[in-house]
A and B are shown apart, each in its own frame.
Chain A
Amino acid sequence: MRPHAGVGRLKPAPPSNMEIASLTIDGIREGLLARRFRAEELATEALRFAEAENPKTNAYLHFSPERALGAARRVDEKIARGEDPGALAGVPVAVKDVIVTRGIRTTCASKLLENYIPPYDATAITLIEEAGGLIIGKTNCDEFAMGSSTENSAFGPVRNPVSLDRVPGGSSGGSAAAVAQGTAVVSLGSDTGGSIRQPASFCGVSGVTPTYGRVSRYGLTAFASSLDHIGPFARSVKDAARVLGVIAGRDPRDSTSAEAPVPDYTKALDGNVKGLKLGLPREYLKDMTSESGSLISRGVEVLRQLGCEVREISLPHTDYAIASYYIIATAEASSNLARYDGVRYTSRSADSATLADMYRNTRGEGFGNECKRRIMLGTYVLSAGYYDAYYLKAQKVRGLIARDFRQAFEEVDAVVAPVSPFPAFRLGEKVDDPLAMYLSDIFTITGSLAGIPCMSVPCGRTAEGLPVGMQILTRHFGETTMFKIADAFERAGGVN
Chain B
Amino acid sequence: MKITEQEVRYVAGLANLNLSDAEVARFQGDLDQILEHMDKLNELDTGNAAPMSQVLYEAADTATLRPDAPVLPLGNQAALANAPDSGTGYYKVPLVIER
Candidates B15, B34, B53, B82; contact of A326 at CB < 8 Å: B34
Q: Are A372 and B23 in contact (CB under 8 A)?
A: yes
Contacts of B95 in A (CB 8 A): 353-355
Q: Are A326 and B94 in contact (CB under 8 A)?
A: no
Contacts of B41 in A (CB 8 A): 320, 323-324, 327, 390, 393-394, 397
Kindly state the separation between the CA atoms of A397 and B54 in the bound complex, as whole angstroms.
13
Interface of B, secondary structure class, is loop
Kindly state the separation between the CA atoms of A347 and B85 in the bound complex, as whole angstroms.
9
Q: How far is the CB of A194 from chain B (nearest CB, A)?
A: 16
Q: Are B83 and A255 in contact (CB under 8 A)?
A: no
Kindly state the separation between the CA atoms of A72 and B27 in the bound complex, as whole angstroms.
49
Most buried by B among A226, A396, A449: A396
Kindly state the separation between the CA atoms of A329 and B90 in the bound complex, as whole angstroms.
33
Does A342 sit within 8 A of B, measured CB to CB? yes
Kindly state the separation between the CA atoms of A352 and B81 in the bound complex, as whole angstroms.
22
Which of the 9-residue segments A158-166, A373-381, A415-423 touches chain B?
A: A373-381
Q: How far is the CB of B80 from chain A (nearest CB, A)?
A: 8
Kindly state the separation between the CA atoms of A260 and B54 in the bound complex, as whole angstroms.
17
Interface string of A343-362 (1 = CB under 8 A from B): 11111100011111111110
Kindly state the separation between the CA atoms of A320 and B43 in the bound complex, as whole angstroms.
9
Contacts of A398 in B (CB 8 A): 51-52
Contacts of B31 in A (CB 8 A): 373, 376-377, 380
Contacts of A322 in B (CB 8 A): 37
Interface of A, secondary structure class, is helix
Contacts of B55 in A (CB 8 A): 212-213, 226, 256, 402, 450-451, 476
Contacts of A359 in B (CB 8 A): 16
Contacts of A379 in B (CB 8 A): 11, 14-15
Interface string of A441-475 (1 = CB under 8 A from B): 00000000111000000000000000000000000
Q: How far is the CB of A77 from chain B (nearest CB, A)?
A: 28
Q: Are B3 and A380 in contact (CB under 8 A)?
A: yes
Kindly state the separation between the CA atoms of A344 and B52 in the bound complex, as whole angstroms.
32
Interface magnitude class on chain B:
35 or more
Closest chain A residue to B54, Cβ basis: A226
Most buried by A among B8, B17, B91: B17
Q: Are A323 and B3 in contact (CB under 8 A)?
A: no
Interface string of B54-75 (1 = CB under 8 A from A): 1101011001111100000010
Q: Are B51 and A396 in contact (CB under 8 A)?
A: yes
Kindly state the separation between the CA atoms of A119 and B82 in the bound complex, as whole angstroms.
9
Contacts of A451 in B (CB 8 A): 55
Does B78 sit within 8 A of A, measured CB to CB? yes
Q: Are A345 and B82 in contact (CB under 8 A)?
A: yes
Residues of A288-327 whose CB lies within 8 A of B: 317, 319-320, 322-324, 326-327
Residues of B73-99 whose CB lies within 8 A of A: 74, 78-79, 81-85, 91, 93-96, 98
Contacts of B20 in A (CB 8 A): 364
Closest chain B residue to A401, Cβ basis: B52
Q: Are A392 and B51 in contact (CB under 8 A)?
A: yes
Does A399 sit within 8 A of B, measured CB to CB? yes
Kindly state the separation between the CA atoms of A347 and B84 in the bound complex, as whole angstroms.
6
Q: Are B66 and A252 in contact (CB under 8 A)?
A: yes
Binding site for B on A (CB under 8 A): 115-117, 119-120, 211-213, 226, 252-253, 255-256, 258-260, 317, 319-320, 322-324, 326-327, 334, 338, 341-348, 352-361, 363-365, 367, 372-373, 375-377, 379-381, 383, 390, 392-400, 402, 434-435, 438-439, 449-451, 476-477
Binding site for A on B (CB under 8 A): 3, 7-8, 11-12, 14-20, 23, 27, 30-31, 33-35, 37-38, 40-44, 46, 49-55, 57, 59-60, 63-67, 74, 78-79, 81-85, 91, 93-96, 98
Sample of 11 A–B contacts (CB below 8 Å)? A119-B81, A120-B74, A226-B53, A258-B63, A334-B15, A342-B84, A355-B93, A355-B96, A359-B16, A360-B17, A393-B42
